[in-house]
Amino acid sequence: MTTSQTTIDMVSIAALAADAKGGVDIVALDVSEPLPFVDAFIIVTGRNERQVAAIADEVEEKMLEAGYKRLRREGRADARWVLEDFGDIVVHVFHEEERMYYSLERLWNDCPTIPFELPNPVENS
């Protein structure tokens, strides 16, 4: 399935917001084929709970500024895996340990990635 321009725009906004708060290893997956109710997953890692929460907050703020309302959010209290549902896209902000444990990229490895550009991507060290 071809990714819509709206989805591409939403992915870019979320990725830029995550990057702005130091999110690393940002990946966008086109999950529209296996999941008829969502077009893309954005997966990002924060190095600690405070950063995970800050990334999730920034994504939500920037998406709202662009006119995309958050439908659901889970995991904000613990800030180990925050899931934010914006309808066409779902943003997963993981703590490093949870990202390795749940390994969503491996689970969805048949799905193509959605390219996006970041001004100064942070290298994962």
For 17-72, what is each residue's pLDDT tens digit?
Answer: 999 999 999 999 999 999 989 999 999 999 999 999 999 999 999 999 999 999 99
**Domain spans of the chain, in order of start:** 5-107
Distance, in Å, from the CA atom of 49 to the CA atom of 88, rounded to the nearest integer, reads 26
CATH class given for the domain over 5-107: alpha beta
* Cβ(45)–Cβ(9) below 8 Å: no
User: Which residue reads 């800030």 in tokens?
Assistant: 79
pTM: 0.91
pLDDT the model gives residue 101:
96
φ, ψ of residue 78 in degrees (nearest 5): -90, -25
